[in-house]
Chains A and B, each alone.
Chain A
């Protein structure tokens, strides 16, 4: 493998790994904040137990999310120095603002939340977890603002061979950001809520603290359903926008070589041969692609061959077709997983409403499995977004091969890749081990843990 391929492998794998934890952190922050709100305003101890139980899981996950994020902050410079030089003027600002606005807020208020159970007024303590959630939203906004610039560069001018910001407002109202942000957040909420529902399903199945976990299950499924619908709508608006901003990615995600007919059918399944630029076998739903792209049942969608010819005229000779199979399948995995999530949360709410949940063992087991689906969908969605953007790092401005650090050797990369992979494997193993342990322990432990605390203020006099 070349330095470029190694650098891409490292960036891809560390980012996908990081983004397993991020959506769960955002989603769980919201769920824990909801649970604590119910505790504070309904004065119901059940919700306090649930807050602490899911709070523990949230913290384990948050820690891994934070530390794997540190790499992200540094590796643009480490591995993609040419890219950093070229876009730093525009791209660095949202990253710096993210740290200043979001990271400080998350980490400070989370510290207070963890250690402040007995030192703060209930409502102040509750405010802390909501501020943590707000911080995670801010974080997502600014990093997506940076990412959106890579998909659809706006608010800049080229000066001395570098992209320089000339319109900050355009950067944060990037049309790509407007569709990408809600979709990502809805996905994160689905991740957190289905995690809560799945863990609760496990406890109900094991007949441990059933009444308590039914409450969490319901809350999880309600949020999951709302989030699922949000995912579908925001996903659709993203697809529509893709037609205008990156038609090549759209064509690749549809496996569309030649221009489509009018109206365009949507290929559910196909065997794509990207070498010979043809599909061996296709199963199509008529009209659907026209609808996805234009929200009406007519209109043709340009194919990759047409776009390739167009881009060659625009950007000079080269291959502008992204890896088609990856883009095509990751899109289908994401969309399929999304639909299953919506369906399952409807079913879950129905069973719960009819008070049949406990007898539905198969459904409860399936709900445990359901925990994994948002993770698969999140990863697939980003793989589609980032792989589908290739060969560009910044669409139309800079290619990936021109972005890599020229002075980082293959040996260094092999060292870092091995190191990070090993560390991440250990982290993942420990995280899963701790999750299982905490889930099996149930809620009783968590409460005793904190309530053995004595009033710290009482001792003050004896010290001084």
Chain B
């Protein structure tokens, strides 16, 4: 029988998969506004493709945060206080990005729009990068002391491995977002999105390979549960090779499905390698935070399990409905908001 705290580890992993699958493409679209759009109209089209969705996608992050707080209070406390400065940057980015979508179109001035465009770009670029840094450094190990507190130096946060991790996650989101655009735009913009995707797939594969190699030296990804992590890593590579194939055949839907699968597998690999740890201590193994020593009591977990299992189907139902309502492609005639 699976224990409740193990189940919650799984649920948190699912929430992060949902987050990176959904918010992943809207981060990617946000980054594309500077890389793909040629003019203001095109930028507005790009923004409108995620207009109805991005806010609900971001709730996956808040829910993941809330779930960690409720199910693993020590994980929540250690991670958020230990990564204080990175989270200040994440918050800055998310705050700026959120209002930029709303404020951008409110004033008819190129300068105004340009300012908010930069906020959207940076606000979409920073979070996936920082989350990449966060998760890779968690897996690599942080100086967690016997009181479960992190007192880290700069190189614990920023090192070759974590930066490669950050870049990789950002590239995965960007490719995913560009492929989302091939599904949501028309004409020239769509063709350019396809061309951009086929260029992007090369750095994506390279960064994934570098990241995998570095993981071998920096973490225990290949030694802990290798019978699961190895096949997972192989399937990540296969997913992206297939994505490359579908991109070249202009099968947009399948390409998008493959990058989505790739993201889901990447998060799964990370969580499989972590389990049962939630944060690795670089000081000594005894100080690791695990699903056992960081979790809430059984009563609280039981309540949360019942509540979540009741609510989640509804949430998924109406989120899917919203994608159904706005299933149409967006072009310049739609720029109403």
Decide yes or no: A423 and B80 within 8 Å by CB, A63-B99, A108-B318, A114-B52 being known contacts: no
Considering only CB atoms, which chain B residue lies closest to A407 in the complex?
A: B149
Flag if A114 contacts B337 (CB, 8 Å): yes
Residues in A whose Cβ lies below 8 Å from that of B63: 96, 99-100, 103-104
Contact partner, A63, options B71, B87, B101, B333, Cβ 8 Å:
B101
Chain A nearest CB from B118 CB (Å) reads: 14
Chain A nearest CB from B127 CB (Å) reads: 11
Expressed in whole angstroms, the Cα–Cα distance for A61 and B180 within the complex equals 29
Residues in A whose Cβ lies below 8 Å from that of B70: 88-89, 92-93, 95-96
Chain B nearest CB from A175 CB (Å) reads: 20
Residues in B whose Cβ lies below 8 Å from that of A77: 69, 76-77, 79-81
Expressed in whole angstroms, the Cα–Cα distance for A135 and B69 within the complex equals 21
Expressed in whole angstroms, the Cα–Cα distance for A70 and B51 within the complex equals 19
Flag if A67 contacts B62 (CB, 8 Å): no
Flag if B65 contacts A73 (CB, 8 Å): yes
Residues in A whose Cβ lies below 8 Å from that of B48: 115
Flag if A115 contacts B52 (CB, 8 Å): yes
Flag if B98 contacts A67 (CB, 8 Å): yes
Contact partner, A423, options B59, B66, B95, B326, Cβ 8 Å:
B95
Contact partner, B59, options A82, A104, A450, Cβ 8 Å:
A104
Contact partner, A78, options B87, B149, B325, Cβ 8 Å:
B87
Contact with B along A77-94 (1 / 0, CB 8 A): 111011011011111110
Flag if A107 contacts B81 (CB, 8 Å): no
Expressed in whole angstroms, the Cα–Cα distance for A120 and B77 within the complex equals 44
Flag if A84 contacts B299 (CB, 8 Å): no
Flag if A120 contacts B325 (CB, 8 Å): yes
Flag if A111 contacts B322 (CB, 8 Å): yes
Most chain B CB inside 10 Å of its own CB: which residue of A412, A434, A456: A456
Contact with B along A49-74 (1 / 0, CB 8 A): 00000000001100110111011011
Residues in B whose Cβ lies below 8 Å from that of A95: 66, 69-70
Chain A nearest CB from B334 CB (Å) reads: 6
Decide yes or no: A99 and B62 within 8 Å by CB, A89-B297, A438-B106 being known contacts: yes
Q: Quick check: is B296 within 8 A (CB to CB) of the other chain? A: yes
* A interface secondary structure, majority: helix
Residues in B whose Cβ lies below 8 Å from that of A79: 81
Flag if B300 contacts A456 (CB, 8 Å): no
Q: Quick check: is B276 within 8 A (CB to CB) of the other chain? A: no
Residues in B whose Cβ lies below 8 Å from that of A453: 333-334, 336
Considering only CB atoms, which chain B residue lies closest to A120 in the complex?
A: B325
Residues in B whose Cβ lies below 8 Å from that of A313: none
Expressed in whole angstroms, the Cα–Cα distance for A389 and B186 within the complex equals 58
Expressed in whole angstroms, the Cα–Cα distance for A179 and B245 within the complex equals 61
Considering only CB atoms, which chain A residue lies closest to B311 in the complex?
A: A100
Flag if A71 contacts B91 (CB, 8 Å): yes
Of residues 56 through 103 on chain B, the ones whose CB sits less than 8 Å from some CB of chain A are 56, 58-59, 62-63, 65-74, 76-82, 84-85, 87-88, 91-92, 94-96, 98-99, 101-103
Decide yes or no: A92 and B296 within 8 Å by CB, A67-B95, A99-B66, A415-B88 being known contacts: yes
Flag if A103 contacts B59 (CB, 8 Å): yes
Expressed in whole angstroms, the Cα–Cα distance for A105 and B315 within the complex equals 7
Residues in B whose Cβ lies below 8 Å from that of A408: 81, 84
Considering only CB atoms, which chain B residue lies closest to A97 in the complex?
A: B307
Contact partner, B312, options A59, A64, A100, A427, Cβ 8 Å:
A100
Contact partner, A164, options B80, B88, B297, B319, Cβ 8 Å:
B297
Residues in B whose Cβ lies below 8 Å from that of A82: 77
Contact partner, A412, options B72, B84, B299, Cβ 8 Å:
B84
Q: Quick check: is B308 within 8 A (CB to CB) of the other chain? A: yes
Q: Quick check: is A150 within 8 A (CB to CB) of the other chain? A: no
Expressed in whole angstroms, the Cα–Cα distance for A365 and B275 within the complex equals 63
Expressed in whole angstroms, the Cα–Cα distance for A419 and B151 within the complex equals 22
Q: Quick check: is B303 within 8 A (CB to CB) of the other chain? A: yes
Flag if A427 contacts B77 (CB, 8 Å): no
Decide yes or no: A92 and B333 within 8 Å by CB, A100-B312, A437-B106 being known contacts: no
Decide yes or no: A74 and B297 within 8 Å by CB, A92-B70, A107-B55, A430-B99 being known contacts: no
Q: Quick check: is A76 within 8 A (CB to CB) of the other chain? A: yes
Chain B nearest CB from A391 CB (Å) reads: 21
Residues in A whose Cβ lies below 8 Å from that of B304: 93, 96-97
Expressed in whole angstroms, the Cα–Cα distance for A89 and B149 within the complex equals 18
Q: Quick check: is A173 within 8 A (CB to CB) of the other chain? A: no
Flag if B81 contacts A81 (CB, 8 Å): yes
Flag if A107 contacts B58 (CB, 8 Å): yes
Decide yes or no: A103 and B62 within 8 Å by CB, A76-B69, A116-B325, A450-B336 being known contacts: yes
Residues in B whose Cβ lies below 8 Å from that of A159: 297
Flag if A90 contacts B315 (CB, 8 Å): no
Residues in B whose Cβ lies below 8 Å from that of A67: 94-96, 98-99
Flag if B303 contacts A93 (CB, 8 Å): yes
Flag if A70 contacts B95 (CB, 8 Å): yes
Chain A nearest CB from B329 CB (Å) reads: 6
Residues in A whose Cβ lies below 8 Å from that of B85: 412, 415-416
Of residues 289 through 334 on chain B, the ones whose CB sits less than 8 Å from some CB of chain A are 296-297, 299-300, 303-304, 307-308, 311-312, 315, 318-319, 322, 325-326, 328-329, 331, 333-334
Q: Quick check: is B135 within 8 A (CB to CB) of the other chain? A: no
Contact partner, A115, options B51, B101, B186, Cβ 8 Å:
B51
Residues in A whose Cβ lies below 8 Å from that of B59: 99, 103-104, 107
Expressed in whole angstroms, the Cα–Cα distance for A437 and B82 within the complex equals 42
Expressed in whole angstroms, the Cα–Cα distance for A453 and B55 within the complex equals 23
Chain B nearest CB from A144 CB (Å) reads: 15
Flag if A90 contacts B300 (CB, 8 Å): yes
- 5 closest A-B pairs by beta carbon, nearest first, are A88-B73, A77-B80, A92-B70, A96-B66, A92-B69
Residues in B lying within 8 Å of A, measured CB to CB = 48, 51-53, 55-56, 58-59, 62-63, 65-74, 76-82, 84-85, 87-88, 91-92, 94-96, 98-99, 101-103, 106-107, 147-151, 186, 296-297, 299-300, 303-304, 307-308, 311-312, 315, 318-319, 322, 325-326, 328-329, 331, 333-334, 336-337
Given contacts A112-B52, A423-B92, 7 further A-B pairs with CB under 8 A are: A66-B55, A89-B73, A93-B307, A164-B299, A165-B296, A430-B99, A459-B333
